[in-house]
Amino acid sequence: MIRYKSTGEIHKDFHGLTCATLHYLVDNYGRDALETVLQETAQKVYKTMHEALLRGDCTELAEYWEYYLTREGGDFTVEKLADGLRLIVRDCPALRHLVKLEQQPDHILCDATRIFDEALAQGSPFRAELKETGTFSCEQLLTRADEVKK
């Protein structure tokens, strides 16, 4: 069961504000600061999810992806693999929201997701990968680090 499960309305500009905050961190404190903030968030705020991954259990991460992407109306599939998880996002609600705000899709959000996922998996038997597959789409993969990838 996921530790943090927000309910109620999502702030109308959550994704725009998140994007602006990420840029502020990089512009004023550098990329290292962005990585530190995201690592601390992944491992301390989402502590139970990180600890589950350390134990080799990716159930909470699957629930997290399912819950939040469903809540935001994303077009996605979560696949449970023999050695981890695959999240296929066909239409990212965060990037789509930026377009509704008449902003360009800003891939700093994708970069932040990549850093966050890698921090969640840090020290665990898993490795996290994110591949952007289109303007609004990506594939996130969590697999056993010791598995040979083709």
Task: Locate 62 and state its tokens.
Answer: 């699957």
Task: Locate 13 and state its tokens.
Answer: 């500009």
The pLDDT of residue 130 is above 60: yes
The pLDDT of residue 147 is above 70: no
User: What DSSP state is assigned to residue 113?
Assistant: H
Topology of the domain comprising 14-144: Muramoyl-pentapeptide Carboxypeptidase; domain 2 (3.30.1380)
Select from 143, 137, 148, 79 the least CA-distant residue to 117. 143
Go through the chain and tell me how many residues it has.
150
The pLDDT of residue 93 is above 50: yes
CB 67 within 8 A of CB 60: no
Regarding beta strands 75-81 and 138-144, do their DSSP bridges make them parallel or antiparallel, or are they unpaired?
Answer: unpaired
Instruction: State pLDDT tens for residues 41-68.
Output: 999 999 999 999 999 999 999 999 999 8
Q: Which range, 4-18, 56-70, 135-149, has the best average confidence (pLDDT)?
A: 56-70
